[in-house]
Amino acid sequence: MQVTMTVNGDEVSREIEGRLLLVHFLRDHLGLTGTHWGCDTSNCGTCVVWMDGEPVKSCTVLAAMAGGREVRTVEGLEQDNVLDPVQQGFMACHGLQCGFCTPGMMMTARALLDRNPDPTDGEIREAISGQICRCTGYATIVRSVHWAADHERAARAGDSETPEAVPAGSAS
């Protein structure tokens, strides 16, 4: 069957099998390998992407179900060569180690901050509780999301004390 959707702002159209999962469509058909796959049971959340602005587990969504929808992946977080504050926060606060769960964690974190710009520790933990990180112990992820929230709040206030941005390609 033919499926057409918008992925990170670009319209894509492919001939696919009806049973194809969105995660495999993104990875194998579009080459967007930033979205990962980690379990068979929708528990781990390494595959989280946005569909029409809502985080979904792309291992539990058929590519066909995303037809006509807007999908956003980790590759779409960076805008105009500037990392999203969530991405910057994860780097600044060591919110990642092996990097495998990171794209899903960041997509959830971005969605959280869009609806709740000043979350508590508990709200952050609740938001990412459908996802597993085996490396970090979560505390640094919580700090990372706070960092992004602080940064965005300062930017909104036009605060001259805006935390310094991590330059693109920093330390690479």
Q: How far apart are CA 81 and CA 74, in angstroms?
A: 14
Closest contact distance (angstroms) between CB of 103 and other proteins is 5
Residue 41 or 160: which CB sits closer to other proteins? 41
Q: Are the C-beta atoms of residues 13 and 4 closer than 8 Å to each other?
A: yes
Closest contact distance (angstroms) between CB of 70 and other proteins is 18
Residue 68 or 104: which CB sits closer to other proteins? 104
User: Identity (one letter) of the amino acid at 168?
Assistant: A
Closest CA to 55 of 122, 118, 129: 129
Residue 11 or 161: which CB sits closer to other proteins? 161
User: Identity (one letter) of the amino acid at 163?
Assistant: P
Residue 68 or 116: which CB sits closer to other proteins? 116
Closest contact distance (angstroms) between CB of 114 and other proteins is 18
Closest contact distance (angstroms) between CB of 51 and other proteins is 17
| Dihedrals phi, psi of 103, to nearest 5 degrees | -55, -45
Residue 39 or 68: which CB sits closer to other proteins? 39
Closest contact distance (angstroms) between CB of 42 and other proteins is 9
Q: Residues 70-97, buried b or exposed e (16+ Cβ, 10 A)?
A: bbbbbbbbeeeeebbbbbbbbebbebbe
